[in-house]
C-alpha cells in the first residue's frame, strides 16, 4: 500500500479520539492519560443515523442527552477540521470540560451546550481552579463576551481557531 495512503488512514483513525488531560498545563500532550478517552465519529449524519432516533425525538425534548452528544460531536468535527488535537478535562468529582485548546501559551477551556441554557457548573469549577485567561462557550446563543467567557454560536464552531 502507498505510504501516503497509510499515513492518511492512520490520521483518520485517530481524528475522533479525545484524550483526558489530568492537569491542564503546557504542553497538553505530556499530561494526557492515554487510557482515558472519548471517541467522536467524523460525521454527525452517520451518528444520527446510527442512533435510530428521529429528528423529532432528538429536538423535541429539553435536556435530551443525545442532543448534547450530537452537538459535542459536531464541535469535535469542527475542531478536527482545523487540525486541533482533541483533549478534555475531568475533575475528581463530576465536573468535565468538553475540550481544551493550547493557544499562545495558555490552555483555553471550551464548553459545549446544545441550547441557549448555558449554565455550567463544570466551567465554573474549572475557572475557579485554574483561572484561564478566558473561556469559550459554544452554544445556541449568539456571539458575546461576558465574565471572561467568549460565547460562540453553534453555527460558527468551525471559526473557533480564528476566535482564539
First to last CA, the chain: 39
Confidence of residue 125 (pLDDT cuts 50, 70, 90): very high
Domain that holds residue 145: 3-163
Cβ contacts of 59-65, under 8 Å, gap ≥ 24: 62/115, 62/117, 64/114
Q: Please count the structural domains in the chain.
A: 1
pLDDT digits (tens, 9 = 90+) for 9-42: 566 556 688 999 999 999 999 999 999 999 888 8
pLDDT digits (tens, 9 = 90+) for 41-90: 887 777 777 777 777 766 666 656 777 888 999 999 999 988 889 999 99
- pTM, two decimal places: 0.85
Instruction: Check whether 128 has a pLDDT greater than 80.
Output: yes
In this prediction, residue 64 carries a pLDDT of 65
CB 28 within 8 A of CB 17: no
Helix (H) or strand (E) holding 39: strand 32-39
Lowest mean pLDDT among 36-45, 102-111, 151-160: 36-45
Cβ contacts of 11-16, under 8 Å, gap ≥ 24: 12/42, 15/42, 15/80, 16/40, 16/41, 16/42, 16/76, 16/80, 16/86
Amino acid at each position: 500500500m502507498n505510504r501516503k495512503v497509510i499515513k492518511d488512514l492512520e490520521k483518520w483513525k485517530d481524528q475522533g479520539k479525545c484524550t483526558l488531560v489530568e492537569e491542564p498545563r503546557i504542553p497538553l500532550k505530556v499530561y494526557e492519560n492515554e487510557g482515558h478517552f472519548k471517541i467522536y465519529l467524523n460525521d454527525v449524519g452517520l451518528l444520527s443515523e446510527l442512533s435510530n432516533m428521529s429528528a423529532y425525538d432528538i429536538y423535541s425534548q429539553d435536556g435530551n442527552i443525545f442532543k448534547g452528544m450530537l452537538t459535542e460531536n459536531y464541535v469535535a468535527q469542527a475542531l478536527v477540521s482545523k487540525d486541533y488535537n482533541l483533549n478534555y478535562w475531568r475533575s475528581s468529582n463530576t465536573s468535565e470540560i468538553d475540550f481544551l485548546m493550547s493557544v499562545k501559551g495558555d490552555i483555553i477551556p471550551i464548553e459545549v451546550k446544545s441550547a441557549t441554557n448555558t449554565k455550567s457548573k463544570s466551567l465554573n469549577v474549572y475557572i475557579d481552579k485554574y483561572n484561564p485567561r478566558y473561556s469559550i462557550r459554544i452554544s445556541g446563543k449568539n456571539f458575546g463576551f461576558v465574565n471572561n467567557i467568549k460565547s460562540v454560536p453553534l453555527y460558527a464552531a468551525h471559526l473557533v481557531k480564528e476566535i482564539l
